[in-house]
């Protein structure tokens, strides 16, 4: 019962638990969440110049703000008792989920894709983060882009980005998700190259696009394989475990909604029994595929291939090894864009994807191990590079890559709730850090070199205070804030995870994660201390920086506050299922229930849950000491050791620093191994195929032959009309003679 | 009795006169008149067959030919006047700019 209906029957306080809007109405209106920013993008893009700066600002902010309000209504409506989603795949409705099918996008043979949107606890958290942080960044941008001529273009792209990200999050099938997936990539390209008059920035946009395309290619192939996989599953399954009608029901749903909906896939894999317990007519992961292009593989192997291809896609979008190289260059875009796209939202798409298809991931220990190891390697590698960066935005970019690595660690080892928790807290504090960096640049004539800043705390108190809060949140030194809890939840879950087949992986990932956490505290400490503490650098561009306007500082304060208070969700204060659960774990249970069930049945991964507060206290203390050590090291080095003129870093230190500054030469390696050979081959193809074969032989050759023939036969054209008439008469005479002979015969 | 063959022979004779005129005469105006002669030869053929078959389709065709010939004469004469004004001659051997 909605809140206002309730008010007529009961008192105000009794009604507080009721959602403001009826769940059915919310499910019908889900499209509005996407349509609002999309309309905003159209308005700003087409009419922004006519409307003027103030109106465009208003439209852009209002579109995202409205989207946030509807997302909030959906979020609240989800907790109502009547918030159930009846999918066509099974009899039992899904609880705590809403959705609606808005019609067919396309249907070819047995394949179809629907405009289906669904929201559950996972999508709701994502939608709130995207629209909430997105709204704050829009407000911030009104001031940051206050002097830019291309404001209308900027806000059109930004709104389009939010719309695409929401489509990605709310889609209930993979093809529609892919539209959002590509859309955010496109907007990222447009915004990185926003100042396209600067060639380096335009190239950075192109690099991001190309690297993303490599990942998207993997994603596409993965989707094709998954379609084949579902087809084979459909063909070889004789009956589902349980009721006899379940299989018919599922097949009917597949016909209606297509093979790649999340609910349909979930229903399918739920019916896969573990190999020893298989009944006749059921498909297990060890069953070989009998026909089709996947013939010869077992269902489990094919699924692993699909998941590894998805991992390639996720590595491209979420900047993981080996495709992370675009994100540091993406800092060419305006700083709020870095905050929104390259820290808070788009780059989390890979984490979201794997949380969404967690029920597939947990069936393949090999894919899980790969995801976790890639995440761990990226977390450490990027954190090490962040040591050596002097550009304030580059430090934050590598920090983002590193934090995303943490999320992939958690996803890979089945601790989905910790990954989503870290995703949300990271969105808050990283957006705060990036916006803080933007504020620093705004007040210091676009200076980004941290060696040429320093001592900003006195002139920019709001920026410094919020930056400090966010720094503490990300590293957890001094006092634990939200990022500390979420990162610790990941490390704790990773440590407690027992992966089948690859038993060594969780331990390895855990150790690497601890080292990366130490590095995090160090580089963030270095960043804060160099920028805000100490003395003002003699090379500073501006003698006295100024604090930014309120549209820039207010979002900073809100984000800093969120970074602090989000910690509440990491406290194990709910007692359920025989143990203390953290708030966020409990909240995400409706989504993570099925992956956890599958983990148990197939014994792919087991997570030894913390028994209670005492366990959590132990891991918190561990993690806190590590963060403290990293932070203290940074403090000692940059407040006491380096500022004194007599001490210079050792030769080894300098060499390491140089390597880290150059990103361990990964870009140069790619340049040598991939870009140069590609360019060489392209050059050869251009010279041989294009210039020689097509241009010279085909195009010019045809013209040459025609011209030569024409030089000879053109003498037939005398210009004398009477000789033409004579030829015609002769032809007529011959034709008449021929006809006469035929008739006489 | 004049039979269809007589008409056709006359038409063929007219056509040949016209054709040779087109091929050998130098004056463009005369060439033009010879073209008219060939058209009238065709008309005569249409009418001869129309008379033999006793229907009116041949008559209709002949009228079409006359209409076209009239239009052609109007435009052709205009062209001839324009050519004479610009070149000062109507000798077809001197009007041969459209060549290789």
Cβ A272 vs Cβ A261: under 8 Å: no
CB pairs under 8 A between A and B: 32
How many domains are contained in chain B?
1
The confidence band for A548, taking pLDDT boundaries of 50, 70 and 90, is confident
The answer to the question of residue B92 being in a domain is no
The answer to the question of residue B72 being in a domain is yes
Kindly list the residues from chain B whose CB atom is less than 8 angstroms away from the CB atom of residue A722.
Answer: 22-24, 31, 92-93
Q: Which of A329, A350, A331, A349 is nearest to A339 (CA)?
A: A331
The answer to the question of residue A714 being in a domain is yes
Nearest CA in chain A to B22: A722
The answer to the question of residue B61 being in a domain is yes
CB atoms within 10 A of CB A79: 15
- What percent of chain A shows pLDDT beyond 70? 97
A708-729 pLDDT, tens digit each: 999 888 888 888 888 888 899 8
A72-105 pLDDT, tens digit each: 999 988 887 778 888 888 888 888 888 898 889 9
Instruction: Provide the token pair at A70.
Output: 């509807």
The answer to the question of residue A291 being in a domain is no
> In which domain, by residue range, is A735 found?
666-744
Helix, strand, coil fractions of chain B, as percent rounded to 5: 80, 0, 20
What's the rounded mean pLDDT across residues A173-190?
A: 92
Minimum-distance CB partner of B100 among A714, A726, A729: A714
The answer to the question of residue B82 being in a domain is yes
What's the rounded mean pLDDT across residues A531-535?
A: 79
A155-166 pLDDT, tens digit each: 999 999 999 999
**8 Å CB contact of B98 and A726:** no
Helix-helix angle B28-53:B57-87, to 10 degrees:
180
The answer to the question of residue A372 being in a domain is no
User: Is the pLDDT reported for residue A647 higher than 70?
Assistant: no
The confidence band for A276, taking pLDDT boundaries of 50, 70 and 90, is confident
Q: Which residue has the higher pLDDT, A599 or A740?
A: A740
Q: How far apart are CA A724 and CA A433, in angstroms?
A: 87
A357-394 pLDDT, tens digit each: 999 999 988 999 999 999 999 999 998 888 888 888 88
Mapped onto helix, strand or coil, the DSSP state of residue A607 is strand
What's the rounded mean pLDDT across residues A234-256?
A: 80
CB atoms within 10 A of CB A293: 13
User: Is the pLDDT reported for residue A353 higher than 90?
Assistant: yes
The answer to the question of residue B59 being in a domain is yes
Cβ A365 vs Cβ A502: under 8 Å: yes
Q: How far apart are CA A385 and CA A392, in angstroms?
A: 13
The confidence band for A278, taking pLDDT boundaries of 50, 70 and 90, is low
Cis bond upstream, residue A511 (ω within 30) = no
Instruction: Provide the token pair at A383.
Output: 């954190």
Residue-wise over A350-385: b if at least 16 C-beta within 10 A, else e?
bbbbbbbbbbbbbbbbbbbbbbbbbbbbbbbbbbbb
- As for the ipTM of the complex, it is 0.84
Stated pTM of the model: 0.81
How many domains are contained in chain A?
1
Distance in Å, alpha carbon of B59 to nearest chain A alpha carbon: 25
The answer to the question of residue A200 being in a domain is no
Cα dihedral value B57, B59, B64, B68, nearest 10: 150
Instruction: Provide the token pair at A460.
Output: 């920019």
What local confidence, expressed as pLDDT, does residue A420 receive? 92
A575-585 pLDDT, tens digit each: 777 677 788 88
As a whole number of Å, the end-to-end CA separation of chain A is: 100
Q: Which of A338, A34, A73 is nearest to A177 (CA)?
A: A34
Q: How far apart are CA A131 and CA A427, in angstroms?
A: 11
What phi and psi, each to the nearest 5 degrees, are found at residue A59?
A: -60, -50
Q: Which of A412, A429, A519 is nearest to A483 (CA)?
A: A429
Q: Which residues are A119's β-sheet partners?
A: A98
Burial of A13 (0-12, 13-18, 19+ CB in 10 A): exposed
What local confidence, expressed as pLDDT, does residue A704 receive? 94
A109-151 pLDDT, tens digit each: 888 899 999 999 999 999 999 999 999 999 989 888 888 888 8
The confidence band for A699, taking pLDDT boundaries of 50, 70 and 90, is very high
Helix-helix angle A53-77:A30-51, to 10 degrees:
170
Minimum-distance CB partner of A718 among B22, B24, B99: B99
**8 Å CB contact of A721 and B97:** no
**8 Å CB contact of B96 and A715:** no
User: Is the pLDDT reported for residue A61 higher than 90?
Assistant: yes
The answer to the question of residue B78 being in a domain is yes
Query: Could you tell me if A711 lies within 8 Å of chain B, comparing CB atoms?
Result: no
The confidence band for A197, taking pLDDT boundaries of 50, 70 and 90, is confident
**8 Å CB contact of B92 and A719:** no
Nearest CA in chain B to A713: B100
The answer to the question of residue B15 being in a domain is no
The answer to the question of residue B10 being in a domain is no
Angle at A510 between CA A505 and CA A515, to 5 degrees: 130
Mapped onto helix, strand or coil, the DSSP state of residue A598 is helix
Distance in Å, alpha carbon of A698 to nearest chain B alpha carbon: 27
Kindly list the residues from chain B whose CB atom is less than 8 angstroms away from the CB atom of residue A715.
Answer: 100
> In which domain, by residue range, is B31 found?
26-87
Q: How far apart are CA A628 and CA A478, in angstroms?
A: 6
Strands A84-85 vs A94-95: parallel, antiparallel or unpaired: antiparallel
**8 Å CB contact of A722 and B99:** no
Mean pLDDT of chain A: 86
Q: According to the per-residue pLDDT averaged within each range, which of A266-275, A306-315, A487-496, A719-728 is highest?
A: A306-315
Q: How far is CA A659 from CA A401, A649, A652, A711, B43, in A?
A: 18, 14, 11, 68, 99
Cβ A332 vs Cβ A208: under 8 Å: no
What local confidence, expressed as pLDDT, does residue A643 receive? 64
Cβ A507 vs Cβ A377: under 8 Å: no
């Amino acid at each position: 019962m909605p809140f206002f209906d309730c008010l007529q029957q009961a008192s105000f306080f009794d009604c507080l638990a009721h959602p403001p809007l009826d769940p059915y109405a919310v499910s019908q209106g889900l499209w509005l969440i996407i349509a609002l920013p999309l309309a905003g993008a159209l308005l700003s893009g087409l009419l922004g110049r006519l409307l003027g700066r103030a109106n465009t600002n208003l439209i852009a902010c209002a579109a995202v703000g409205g989207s946030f309000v509807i997302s909030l209504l959906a979020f609240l409506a989800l907790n109502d008792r009547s918030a159930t989603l009846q999918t066509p795949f099974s009899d039992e409705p899904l609880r705590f989920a809403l959705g609606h099918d808005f019609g067919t996008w396309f249907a070819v043979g047995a394949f179809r894709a629907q405009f289906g949107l669904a929201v559950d606890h996972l999508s709701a958290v994502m939608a709130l983060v995207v629209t909430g942080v997105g709204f704050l960044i829009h407000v911030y941008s009104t001031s940051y882009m206050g002097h830019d001529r291309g404001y209308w273009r900027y806000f059109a792209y930004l709104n389009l980005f939010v719309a695409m990200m929401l489509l990605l999050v709310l889609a209930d099938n993979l093809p529609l998700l892919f539209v959002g997936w590509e859309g955010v990539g496109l907007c990222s390209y447009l915004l990185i190259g926003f100042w396209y008059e600067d060639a380096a920035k335009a190239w950075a946009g192109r690099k991001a696009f190309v690297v993303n395309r490599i990942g998207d290619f993997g994603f596409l192939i993965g989707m094709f394989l998954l379609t084949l996989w579902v087809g084979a599953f459909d063909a070889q399954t004789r009956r589902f475990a349980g009721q006899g009608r379940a299989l018919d029901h599922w097949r009917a749903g597949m016909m209606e909604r297509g093979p790649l909906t999340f609910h349909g896939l979930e229903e399918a894999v739920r019916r896969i029994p573990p190999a020893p317990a298989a009944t006749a007519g059921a498909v297990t992961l060890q069953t070989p595929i009998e026909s089709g292009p996947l013939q010869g593989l077992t269902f489990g192997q094919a699924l692993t291939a699909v998941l590894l291809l998805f991992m390639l896609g996720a590595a491209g979008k979420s900047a993981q090894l080996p495709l992370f190289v675009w994100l540091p260059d993406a800092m060419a875009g305006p700083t709020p864009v870095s905050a929104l796209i390259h820290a808070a939202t788009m780059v989390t798409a890979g984490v979201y994807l794997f949380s969404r298809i967690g029920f597939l991931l947990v069936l393949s220990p090999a894919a899980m191990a790969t995801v976790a190891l890639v995440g761990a390697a990226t977390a450490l590698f990027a954190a090490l590079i962040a040591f050596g960066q002097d550009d304030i935005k580059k430090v934050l970019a590598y920090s983002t890559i590193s934090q995303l690595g943490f999320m992939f660690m958690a996803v890979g080892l089945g601790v989905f709730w910790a990954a989503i928790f870290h995703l949300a807290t990271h969105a808050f504090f990283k957006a705060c850090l990036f916006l803080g960096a933007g504020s620093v640049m705004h007040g210091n004539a676009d200076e980004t070199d941290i060696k040429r800043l320093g001592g900003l705390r006195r002139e920019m108190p709001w920026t410094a205070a919020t930056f400090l809060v966010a720094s503490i949140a990300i590293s957890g030194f001094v006092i634990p804030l939200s990022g500390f809890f979420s990162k610790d939840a990941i490390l704790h879950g990773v440590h407690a995870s027992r992966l089948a087949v690859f038993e060594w992986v969780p331990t390895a990932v855990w150790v690497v994660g601890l080292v990366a956490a130490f590095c995090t505290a160090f580089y963030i400490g270095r960043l804060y201390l160099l920028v805000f503490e100490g003395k003002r650098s003699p090379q500073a561009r501006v003698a006295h920086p100024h604090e930014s306007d309120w549209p820039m500082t207010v979002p900073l304060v809100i984000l800093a506050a969120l970074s602090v208070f989000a910690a509440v969700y990491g406290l194990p204060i709910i007692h359920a299922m025989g143990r203390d659960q953290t708030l966020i774990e409990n909240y995400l249970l409706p989504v993570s229930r099925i992956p956890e069930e599958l983990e148990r049945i197939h014994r792919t991964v087991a997570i030894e849950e913390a028994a209670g507060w005492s366990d959590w206290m132990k891991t918190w203390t561990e993690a806190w000491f590590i963060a403290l050590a990293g932070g203290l090291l940074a403090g000692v080095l940059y407040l006491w050791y380096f500022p004194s003129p007599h001490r210079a870093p050792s030769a080894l230190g300098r060499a390491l620093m140089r390597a880290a500054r150059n990103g361990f030469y990964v870009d140069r390696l790619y340049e040598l191994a991939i870009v140069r050979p590609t360019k060489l081959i392209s050059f050869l193809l251009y010279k041989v195929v294009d210039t020689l074969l097509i241009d010279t032989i085909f195009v010019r050759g045809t013209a040459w032959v025609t011209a030569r023939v024409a030089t000879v036969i053109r003498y037939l054209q005398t210009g004398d009309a009477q000789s033409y008439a004579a030829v015609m008469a002769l032809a007529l005479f011959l034709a008449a003679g021929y006809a006469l002979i035929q008739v006489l015969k | 009795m004049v039979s269809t063959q007589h008409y056709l022979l006359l038409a063929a004779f007219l056509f040949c006169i016209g054709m040779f005129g087109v091929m050998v005469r130098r004056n463009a105006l005369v060439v033009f008149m010879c073209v008219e002669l060939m058209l009238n030869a065709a008309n005569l053929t249409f009418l001869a067959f129309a008379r033999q078959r006793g229907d009116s389709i041949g008559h209709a065709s002949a009228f079409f030919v006359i209409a076209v010939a009239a239009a052609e004469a109007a435009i052709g004469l205009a062209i001839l006047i324009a050519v004479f004004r610009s070149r000062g001659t109507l000798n077809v051997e001197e009007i041969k700019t459209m060549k290789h």
